[in-house]
Every structure is written in C-alpha cells, then in structure tokens.
Amino acid sequence: MLLEELEEIPSIGTRVRISHYDIDILDVQDNMIKQVRVTPIKSLQASVQNH
C-alpha cells in the first residue's frame, strides 16, 4: 500500500498521510520498507463519536 502511494522506496524519516493516518518510515533495508509507525490523525474516541 505504501509503495503504491509513494511509487518509490522512501528514505528513512519520510512521512506520508494516507486516509486518516500519518505513516512515518523508520527503517528501510535492501529495497524494502522494514518498519513504520502509524499514527491516527484523530483520536479513537473522536472517530467513534462521529459514527
């Protein structure tokens, strides 16, 4: 999913927003994304209250 959005291997420290999430690239090795941090933009409580 990330590679479809970015269309290339990102460098460490890159941040991308997909839907309601910020995704930080933490580790890239051997042309693969090894580790990311996914952070919801809205809190879970706010998301639940809106539905």
Cβ pair 6, 16 in contact under 8 A: yes
| pLDDT (tens digit per residue) in 3-43 | 888 899 999 999 999 989 999 999 999 989 999 999 999 86
User: Which residues 6+ apart lie within 8 Å of 44 measured at CB?
Assistant: none
Is 51's pLDDT higher than 70?
Answer: no
Domains parsed from the chain with CATH numbers:
2-42 (3.30.465.10)
Please return the burial class of 30, using the count of CB atoms within 10 Å of its CB with bins 0-12, 13-18 and 19+.
exposed
DSSP state string for 5-48: HHSSPPPTT-EEEETTEEEEEEEEETTEEEEEEEEESS-HHHHH
